[in-house]
Amino acid sequence: MAASLAVGLQRAGAKVGIMDADIYGPSVPHLFGVKGRPHIVEEKGPEGQIIQRMDPIEADGVKIMSIGFLVGPDEPVIVRGPILHRTIEQFLRQTAWGELDYLIIDLPPGTGDIALTLSQLLGLAGAVVVCTPQQLALIDAVKAINMFRKVKIPVLGLVENMTGEIFGRGGAKQKAAEMGVPFLGEVPINAKIRELGDAGRIRAAFDADSPALAPLQHVCEQAAMQIAKSLLETPKMPSLEIL
């Protein structure tokens, strides 16, 4: 969903970056079908000092940075909490993002460790919570929403993914209403979407004949609207330059 959001916003004309903060299971490079190691670039700091940064790798017009670029595909990343914090911080500081309209950050499921770190480092416009329709997934979504509220990251809304026969339908919409958060839309479970993800062709989910086109576009529009609203209510300058 994070990758799709990045592609959708890029297609609409925005300058978009995506940071894969799922240290334990970085899947963003795979979805975009990219490999490789980021180039190191040297930039001049405010006092003339040389700062080394990593160029994100670009695919489909989206700038991508992932821990997946730095470790082998089958290597696990084994780090403890405090190091995790530093890793994320370094990632943010040392990536030469350039000028962006949106930086999408893909978080791992579960605990709030990384969300907490990010909330301390950046003025985030908000969080999009993604879940599947079944009760068990909704319990996690409720926890995620409460966690973001606790660390003062605005919740932009809830997305239901994999709607359909297997997991059901409508659970997320109902939960969003109960929790007073916007519902951003639903994306059906569909073999084509899975195939495109596996093949590293996530952009093709937006092709004219893709079953995901309309639902993804809807989610992207709703998310962009909520981001704009959030920034109007609480203006933020999430400038990476000052990090």
Give 200 or 238: the residue with its C-beta nearer to ligand ATP.
200
Is residue 23 involved in binding ligand ATP (CB under 6 A)?
Answer: no
Distances, alpha carbon 100 to alpha carbons 44, 161, 241, in Å = 19, 27, 11
Q: How far is the CB of 4 from ligand ATP (least distance, A)?
A: 8
Identify whether the C-beta of residue 160 lies closer than 8 Å to the C-beta of residue 171.
yes
Q: How far is the CB of 33 from ligand ATP (least distance, A)?
A: 12
Give 96 or 141: the residue with its C-beta nearer to ligand ATP.
141
Cα 162 to Cα 76: distance, rounded to the nearest angstrom? 27
Binding ligand ATP (rule: CB under 6 A), the pick from 76, 98, 109, 123 is 109
In 3D space, the residue among 72, 67, 38 whose CA is nearest the CA of residue 54 turns out to be 38
Is residue 25 involved in binding ligand ATP (CB under 6 A)?
Answer: yes
Give 17 or 185: the residue with its C-beta nearer to ligand ATP.
185
Identify whether the C-beta of residue 145 lies closer than 8 Å to the C-beta of residue 179.
yes
Q: How far is the CB of 189 from ligand ATP (least distance, A)?
A: 4
Q: Name the residue with the smallest CB distance to ligand ATP.
A: 197
Tokens of 120: 């301390």
Q: How far is the CB of 165 from ligand ATP (least distance, A)?
A: 12
For 166, counting Cβ atoms within 10 Å of its Cβ (0-12 exposed, 13-18 middle, 19+ buried), the class is exposed
Binding ligand ATP (rule: CB under 6 A), the pick from 11, 14, 27, 70 is 27
Site for ligand ATP in 162-191 (CB under 6 A): 162, 187, 189-190
Determine the Cα angle at 231 with ends 227 and 236, to 5°. Answer: 125
Identify whether the C-beta of residue 130 lies closer than 8 Å to the C-beta of residue 57.
no
Tokens of 24: 């334990």
Cα 8 to Cα 61: distance, rounded to the nearest angstrom? 11
Give 25 or 170: the residue with its C-beta nearer to ligand ATP.
25
Is residue 194 involved in binding ligand ATP (CB under 6 A)?
Answer: yes
| DSSP character at residue 104 | E
Is residue 161 involved in binding ligand ATP (CB under 6 A)?
Answer: yes
Under the rule (CB under 6 A), what is the footprint of ligand ATP? Answer: 1, 22, 25, 27, 108-109, 161-162, 187, 189-190, 193-194, 197
